[in-house]
Amino acid sequence: AVLLFDRKTMTVKEELNIHAVMPIASVTKLMTAYVVLESRVDLNEKVTIRRQRIEGSRVLADGMQLTRTELLHLALISSDNLAAKMLAVAHPQGYDSFITEMNATAQRLGMNNTSYIEPTGLLPNKSTAWDLHLLNTAVSKYSIFRETAMSKTSNQEAQNKKGLWKRFVIRNTNAFAGEYDIKVGKTGFTNPAGWCISMLVRHQGQEFDLIVLGSPSKKVRNDLVSAKLKSYMNVITRS
């Protein structure tokens, strides 16, 4: 699926299977972060990391403590699955209520072909390119999505069980981070979903969505995205 949507003219410029329901892998984390932010929880409250059965992490360990803001950065920049799971687990009304709210939020946004069963994308949450365009519209009101989309790397820190601080560097899974003015950006991959990306890009005062789902490889996805970004930016520049 491919969608190129011009937000100035509110028109679809390119489309392929934009209403096809497909697994979206870690693009899921856009909704996870949005539900956290919309819930108005204390982003500075520390969350204790608890080892999970499925969700892993390259940097987080059992017993570490991080704020919700730090977990949001890990989930959105390095696509950390354990960070995303902990954000849902730490929801004041509990994990199940968080998943219910993910689906209720999708319905409120008009994402009628979207369903979530967990917060990371490891299991087959499903959506469409069109619905993800609607999600980009909603989440872009929060500056953290632009901050994380533009960060090639980020320095994070956490306290371990002994109260000692551990510092580490995380890298963005999006090869285009920092290369363009990206207001929203998230990649994803699982075997069922293929290689996915959802972006809201700004160029010379104009904004457009570029969404790709189900690409057969990272190279195919990135080459396609690179070509379409450059091509449509040229169109905007000439207009």
The set of catalytic residues is 26, 29, 79
- What is the C-alpha to C-alpha distance for residues 177 and 112, in angstroms, rounded to an integer? 29
> Alpha helix locations (H) across 90-196?
95-108, 129-139, 143-150
Is residue 4 helix, strand or coil? strand
Tell me, what DSSP letter sits at residue 128? -
- Residues 6 or more apart whose CB falls under 8 angstroms from that of 4 comprise 12, 13, 14, 15, 208, 209, 210, 228, 232
Question: Using CA atoms, how far apart are residues 152 and 171, in angstroms rounded to an integer?
Answer: 6
CA distance 88 to 150: 24
